[in-house]
Amino acid sequence: MSSATTAGVRNAFLRYRVMAFITGTLLVLLVFVAIPIKYLGHNEGPVAVIGTAHGFLFMVYLLTALDLGIRRRWPWLKLGLVMIAGTVPFASFYAEHRLRREIA
């Protein structure tokens, strides 16, 4: 790979890492904090705020994962699994960890 390509992958991976952390954190807060508050405390506010933020930022996460996958020329299955990782609590952290070992 040329240095420009390597820098592009490095920058794409940094963007992916940031979005994986943000999306994963919001999903964990949504599932383990906001939803229990909704059903046990009868307060829908946290779900509305955190759920909306997670939903919007999940779309950005998908774009950053797609960008990284295209730059790395991943097979469709790997790309799909990395994208789906943003929908399972803690899975985005695991996916980011595995990719960091592969790319770095």
Q: How far is residue 22's CA from residue 53's CA, in Å, rounded to a whole number? A: 10
Find the farthest-apart pair of alpha carbons in the chain and give their distance in angstroms, rounded: 56
The average pLDDT across 7-22 equals 95
Q: How far is residue 57's CA from residue 68's CA, in Å, rounded to a whole number? A: 16
Taking 70 as the threshold, does the pLDDT of residue 3 lie above it?
Answer: no
Q: What is the pLDDT of residues 23-53, one digit of tens each?
A: 999 999 999 999 999 999 999 999 999 999 9
Q: Looking at residue 53, what is its pLDDT? A: 97
Rounded to 5 degrees, what angle do the CA atoms 84, 103, 96 make?
A: 35
Q: How far is residue 73's CA from residue 48's CA, in Å, rounded to a whole number? A: 37
